Structure 1
Amino acid sequence: MSRFRNRLTLTYVLMVGLSVLVAGIYMAYSFKESHIKQLEQTMVQEIKMLDTTLDWRSFDTAEERSEYYTSWAKALQQATETRVTFVLADGTVIGDSSYDVNSMDNHLQREEIQQAANGYFGSIIRFSNTLNENMLYVTGPIQHPGKFEGYVRLAKGLAEVEAGVRQFLEYVVIGLAGLFLAAAIVSYRIAQKLTRPMEDMTRVALRIAKRDYSARVEATGKDELGQLGSAINAMADSLEEQVNEIRENESRLRSVLDHMMNGIVMVDANGRVGLMNGKAEQLFGLSCKECLGKNYTDIRIPSELQVIISEVMMYRNYVQHETTVYYPEERLLDIHAVPVYYTDEEWAGLLLMMQDLSELRRLERMRSEFVANVSHELKTPIAAVKGFAETLLNGAIQDAETAHSFVQIIHDESERLNRLIGDLLELSKIQSRQVPMQYSPVHLPSLLEQTVHILKKNADRKEIEITLEVTDDLFIEADEDRLRQIVLNLLSNAINYTPEEGKVKLCARPIRVDSSIDSELDEQIEISITDTGIGIPKKDLPRIFERFYRVDKARSRGSGGTGLGLSIVKHLVESHQGTLKVESEVGIGSTFTIVLPIIQDAPIDFE
């Protein structure tokens, strides 16, 4: 816009300057013509006066005649500062104030002489090589029969006239320069006044084009520019309102799509991917940037999916299909491909909705396994009780020693059944949060010593050495009964799975861990139980906290375990907002490590 203003200013200046220059040249030309005209009239008057006042004589010889007229010519030149020449009718020069007449050519063909030969005064301007200036020649006819018949020519240099014209032109140039400067300033001001609103409107329009819808034109007048500015402001208001509404709707749609549990992909009529939400990115292992705008055949999606999309693109019908994909990981997907049309039933593409059924199927499988495990675990003691009871009923009760043995087995199996049902109920209560945690300060050394004392007899029977290492005066905020249950279960497992004359170590100490909040360190308690037992294979480590999972089923059942102890421990640790991990090596032993916060900030609500 500044270039436009400069061009407008230059145009104004050139127009004014050209007008002044033309006027100046015209005035200089008029001045020169007027001056020459006046000079010419003066010279005509002088010729007429000379015609009436000069004593025209007759001479016997040409020498006398030339001498007479030459003397007069010189006298007249001194009086009028004008060159005077007397020329006869045949063109012979008989007197001149500046040159020797004998050396002068015949003047009959001179233009001014030819004009005077027609009976009127002739005049011409001609450059004089001798004087190196322009000369004005004025010639008048003279008729004195018997005395002089010919022409009187007066010549005057135009140096003064041209000097005056030059001086006048200098004044014109100086005035023109000043006028140029004034015109430039005034024109710039005028152009600025005209273009500033246009520049403002242009800037606002460019900002709006760059999606800055807050740009507005400054308040202007009521002229056409003002009306245009008001129209631009109204347009910006409307655009801003519409864009804000679109952004709000887009934000809502994006929020809904990003938080959907199903993957959403939209493919347009040309097969290009136009929409993909975060769940779809997770399912495909791709990002939106890699897919948007590209044809579905050019992106790395499962071939089963490409077949479904191709089918809908070809036949434009609804397709529902369950399929397993193997990249980026194995998943079972329930796919719904829905054809999409515009309001006028014009084909728009398709919408792909994908639900990951992998977790659902895993939970169903776990439920089935759980039911099977519970049934199996319940069936074993019940079958034993039933079998031995039937044996007693069939007559074995008569043998006192056999009857006592069978009754003891029935008692043991019923106790095992009772423990199993108790553990199931306990695990169910913990998982459902039916029993709230009762937090209170717990003296950890006392709790650990009591737990070791409870299991001391079991350890002594196997000659297992139990070592307790705990920092004195160590307190923790916890549910004392639940914390004792955690340690008791882990310590009992360590004793049960450690061969005779083995070692079990129970250690508790305070530690500091990064809380990941402003890089602060939180003080926590680490409880570790290490044994020299049979160990756990690495392949079984990820599953040992599952319900009823046993590494060695025969050994576990022989030890009287229900297969629920570690699962209960895991949920109790999580209820204390702690973590549980295990490290083990077959034939060397295992270490279970619990990390609990010293202070419970707030109970976790899992519902």
Structure 2
Amino acid sequence: MSKFRLKLTALFMLLIGLSVLAAGIFTGQFYKHNHLEALGSHMETQLRVLSAAAPWPKGESKTAQTEYLESQAIRFKELADMRVTYIATDGEVLGDSDHAPGTMDNHAGREEVREAMQSGMGRSIRHSDTLDENMLYVAYASKNGETGETLGVIRLAMSLSAVEKSLDRMWMALALGLLAVFALAALVSYRVALSVTRPLERMTSAAKRMAGMDYKVRIPDAGKDEIGELGRALNAMAANLQDHMGEIRRNELHLQSVLDHMISGVVMIGPDGRIRIYNRSAELLLGSLARERVGRSYTEAKQQYELLQLIRSGFDIGEPIHEELTVYYPEERLLELHLVPIPMDDDTAPGLLLVLQDVSAIRRLERMRSEFVANVSHELKTPVAAVKGFAETLLAGAVNDPETARSFLKIIQEESDRLNRLIGDILELSKIESRRSPLQFSPIDLRSFLERQLEFLGTEAAKKEISLELDAPEELFIEADEDRLGQITLNLLQNGISYTPEGGRVRVKAIIVESEDGGDFEEHVRIMVSDTGIGIPKKDLPRIFERFYRVDKARSRSSGGTGLGLSIVKHLVELHHGTIRVESTVGVGSTFVIELPLIQDY
């Protein structure tokens, strides 16, 4: 039970108890007063009757009066069952129903006697030492009917023990009733306090849960009184808060989802220098987790010193900053940074919003594009310059020398063919990269397909006495674009023949391999084209598939190569959802390894 309920119950019990006690005391006093008043009135009536029935003797000696009055006192006691006393005007007792008059004190000073002498009737209540109990005394002045002179006083005395016992019984009954009322009051008070405090306790508990951001709590209907209205108001407030908090949480989730799926890193720093937002892309770009950074100062990120200096500058100048910055942790990257001051909360000083984007790939592509344009210009300029130079020589008179003219015209034809191949390869590569030429997949018998490729190159290989070998299982079918697959294998075989000395060997091998992808095993076809040529230096292996990259530029040009063949091969392999790599040792030979899915996943 709550302290408030205990206090409220005690208050109700106190109020009820005081009310019942006051009512009991008032009732007891009222009962006592009325009982004594009725008893006194009865005794007064008895005195008048007694005075009339036995008039006070007149003109007789005191001894005769005493004998007469004493006998009357005894006689009337038997009739009225009350003590009867006759008192002379001087206070001397002349007759008494219970004691001998001579043994009794003078009664002139008794209160009831004095009142009777003065007003004709007197009353008093006092303790009787003779009887050792409280007595009610009523005195009546007996007068001479002719002269009105007071002859004496007749007094009746009655014990109040019966009255006191009756009052004691009444007080006992009152006490028992009070205890019963207290018990009933306790029960009623508890029920009343419970009906008042239970809704308040529920509201208090609900308010505490709301303070703890639990807005699902509801208070049971507490009736139609003010407490019930308060409960309904709290329920309405909780429902509104729940709706608002739900909307806020949904907005936070949307914002967090947007931040987490942004390709740009986003970092928000408060005016105090503490990081407040740190999204997933920022984790990848800066090499630290959000839980390690949020709530802590940006100066703790010691790995990016240049970035820290830039953030300090942003706080100092308070203006947007746009920079490109190279960071070396967790790896070397070129980052484009936008640093913008933004107002936050009620702070007068602004915070900073830092947006980071990895532009390493973009800058690399731009560099490759510039290099590609420069290489194309250079590669186109060489045959054009040769054609122009020899044509001008012929026009200058060399055409008159048949042998010289024929030699020059042959060179012009070769350079034109080379220029035509170069333009064709550039267009082919552009078409492949832009995916304007979709692949047409169909089942291919790989062994028969490779046999046709080797047969097509047989004459070229025979010129250099190079042997062509094939190792492929029968009935090995692969799903691929036949024209593009032929372009891949012909390019690799021609490269092998071109860079293999006379008497060498070019070998093609095809096998089925299994690879694990997410717990599932998939079958792939591995095609290996190996030669016993001059090989590729280790430093050139990472760039071998770049456009216009040549290991031996002089030999490549003399063989008629454009420098785009391997780049075309790599793009075509990737369009088949495959991979290509090269293994090579200088002076021993090279092996190009292609892995293609056995069945394409559309």
TM-score, normalised relative to structure 2 = 0.68
Asked whether 1:568 is paired with 2:568, we answer yes
Structure-2 residue corresponding to 1:580: 580
2:425 equivalent among 412, 423, 426: 423
Structure-1 residue corresponding to 2:471: 468
Structure-2 residue corresponding to 1:543: 543
Amino acid at match of 2:471: L
SS in 2 for 1:363: helix
Amino acid at match of 1:436: P
* Residues 391-439 of structure 1: CA deviation (Å, up to 9, x unaligned): 9999899797x99988877766665554444332221221122322222
1:480: Cα distance to partner? 0.8
Structure-2 residue corresponding to 1:605: none
Structure-2 residue corresponding to 1:285: 287
User: Residue 476 of structure 1 contacts residue 599 of structure 1 at CA under 8 Å; is this kept in 2?
Assistant: yes
Structure-1 residue corresponding to 2:175: 169
1:447-462 alignment, distance < 5 Å: 447-455=449-457
User: Residue 477 of structure 1 contacts residue 600 of structure 1 at CA under 8 Å; is this kept in 2?
Assistant: yes
User: Residue 84 of structure 2 contacts residue 157 of structure 2 at CA under 8 Å; is this kept in 1?
Assistant: yes
Asked whether 1:483 is paired with 2:489, we answer no
1:523: Cα distance to partner? 4.5
Q: Gapped runs of 5+ residues in structure 1?
A: 98-103, 603-607
1:506 equivalent among 505, 509, 515: 509
Structure-2 residue corresponding to 1:100: none
1:351-430 alignment, distance < 5 Å: 351-354=353-356, 356-378=358-380, 416-430=418-432
Cα distance change, pair 237–190 in 1 and its aligned pair in 2 (3 A): closer
SS in 2 for 1:547: coil
Amino acid at match of 1:429: K
Amino acid at match of 1:563: G
* Residues 102-158 of structure 1: CA deviation (Å, up to 9, x unaligned): xx9x9999xxx9656755544247999x99xxx53445679999x999996746364
1:316: Cα distance to partner? 3.6
Measure, in 2, the Cα distance between the counterparts of 1:540 and 1:23: 116
Cα distance change, pair 314–462 in 1 and its aligned pair in 2 (3 A): same
SS in 2 for 1:174: helix
Measure, in 2, the Cα distance between the counterparts of 1:527 and 1:246: 55
Which one is further off, 363-372 or 575-584?
Answer: 575-584
User: Residue 341 of structure 1 contacts residue 347 of structure 1 at CA under 8 Å; is this kept in 2?
Assistant: yes
Structure-1 residue corresponding to 2:134: 136
SS in 2 for 1:527: strand
User: Residue 87 of structure 2 contacts residue 153 of structure 2 at CA under 8 Å; is this kept in 1?
Assistant: no
1:28-43 alignment, distance < 5 Å: 28=28, 30-31=30-31
Structure-1 residue corresponding to 2:147: none
Measure, in 2, the Cα distance between the counterparts of 1:118 and 1:183: 55
Cα distance change, pair 168–271 in 1 and its aligned pair in 2 (3 A): closer
Measure, in 2, the Cα distance between the counterparts of 1:410 and 1:572: 32
Measure, in 1, the Cα distance between the counterparts of 2:593 and 2:375: 28
1:178: Cα distance to partner? 3.8
Measure, in 1, the Cα distance between the counterparts of 2:125 and 2:169: 21
Cα distance change, pair 148–335 in 1 and its aligned pair in 2 (3 A): closer
Structure-1 residue corresponding to 2:119: none
Measure, in 2, the Cα distance between the counterparts of 1:11 and 1:535: 106
User: Residue 451 of structure 1 contacts residue 484 of structure 1 at CA under 8 Å; is this kept in 2?
Assistant: yes
Cα distance change, pair 59–108 in 1 and its aligned pair in 2 (3 A): closer
Structure-1 residue corresponding to 2:145: none
Measure, in 1, the Cα distance between the counterparts of 2:12 and 2:129: 41
User: Residue 16 of structure 1 contacts residue 183 of structure 1 at CA under 8 Å; is this kept in 2?
Assistant: no
Structure-1 residue corresponding to 2:446: 444
Cα distance change, pair 78–370 in 1 and its aligned pair in 2 (3 A): farther
1:251-270 alignment, distance < 5 Å: 263-270=265-272
2:187 equivalent among 181, 191, 197: 181
1:509: Cα distance to partner? 1.9
Cα distance change, pair 494–527 in 1 and its aligned pair in 2 (3 A): farther
Give the RMSD, CA atoms, in angstroms. Answer: 6.2
Amino acid at match of 1:508: I
Amino acid at match of 1:442: I
1:366: Cα distance to partner? 1.2
Measure, in 2, the Cα distance between the counterparts of 1:583 and 1:52: 158
SS in 1 for 2:134: strand
Amino acid at match of 1:578: G
User: Residue 86 of structure 1 contacts residue 95 of structure 1 at CA under 8 Å; is this kept in 2?
Assistant: no
Cα distance change, pair 302–122 in 1 and its aligned pair in 2 (3 A): same
2:434 equivalent among 432, 435, 453: 432
1:166: Cα distance to partner? 1.4
Percent sequence identity is 43
1:507: Cα distance to partner? 1.7
Amino acid at match of 1:326: Y
Measure, in 1, the Cα distance between the counterparts of 2:175 and 2:98: 35
1:300-379 alignment, distance < 5 Å: 300=302, 302-339=304-341, 348-354=350-356, 356-378=358-380
1:16: Cα distance to partner? 4.2
1:113-262 alignment, distance < 5 Å: 120-124=122-126, 135-138=133-136, 154=159, 156=161, 158-159=164-165, 161-178=167-184, 180-182=186-188, 184-185=190-191, 188-189=194-195, 195=199, 199=202, 203=206, 207=210, 210=213, 212=215
Cα distance change, pair 581–6 in 1 and its aligned pair in 2 (3 A): farther
* Residues 313-348 of structure 1: CA deviation (Å, up to 9, x unaligned): 334445444443333333344444445579x99764
1:40: Cα distance to partner? 7.5
Cα distance change, pair 290–189 in 1 and its aligned pair in 2 (3 A): same
Measure, in 1, the Cα distance between the counterparts of 2:129 and 2:369: 127
Structure-2 residue corresponding to 1:525: 524
Q: Which has the larger radius of gyration?
A: 2
SS in 1 for 2:577: coil
